[in-house]
Amino acid sequence: MAAANGNTVRVHYTGTLDDGTVFDTSRGGDPIEFAVGKRMVIAGFEEAVVGMEPGDSKKLTIPATEAYGEHDPRLVQDVPRSELPQGLEPEPGMQLKASGGDGREIALVVTDVTSEMVRLDANHPLAGQDLTFEIQLVEVA
């Protein structure tokens, strides 16, 4: 049976960046499961599964605009170190969480640290990146 909107599917995948770096994979673990048409995964990934049958494989590249969007410089902010929690020693790559004005949690990544300031980036870590996926449909329910 071919995968269609409304089906629940199980898929193995490996995601890579343009330079070949693997950013995520289900290989070596359980396949991911999602309902097609419910926007549980990025749109291009979901659309690629439609029409596939169990055992089928394909490779596709999803442009940044259809994945996690372009990197938005408005989501990068320099914050005085004095505004960080007492005792926190920020380092580039460190992940932090903050509360937005509406109470939602915001994921932040420290991208630069000086003696006075810390640069925080609220963009998704894969924003601005084209994503290549090798996918294999395992099961359609």
Over the chain (141 residues), what is each successive 10-residue block's mean pLDDT? 95 97 96 95 92 97 93 96 91 90 89 96 95 97 89
pLDDT for the residue numbered 51 = 96
The pLDDT of residue 112 is 96
Q: Please, are residues 134 and 27 in contact by the beta-carbon 8 Å criterion?
A: no
In the chain, list all ranges with CATH 3.10.50.40. Answer: 8-68+127-140
Provide the Cα torsion 48, 54, 58, 60; round to 10°.
20
Structure token digits, residue 104: 């939602």
- Classify domain 8-68+127-140 by CATH number: 3.10.50.40
> Both tokens of residue 58?
């394909």
Under CATH, what is the fold of the domain 73-121? Thrombin, subunit H (2.40.10)
CATH 2.40.10.330-classified regions of the chain: 73-121
CA distance readout (Å), 56 to 14, 44, 86, 94, 124:
15, 17, 53, 39, 30
* Number of Cβ within a 10 Å radius of residue 124: 16
Tell me what pLDDT residue 101 has: 79
Whole-number CA gyration radius for the chain:
19
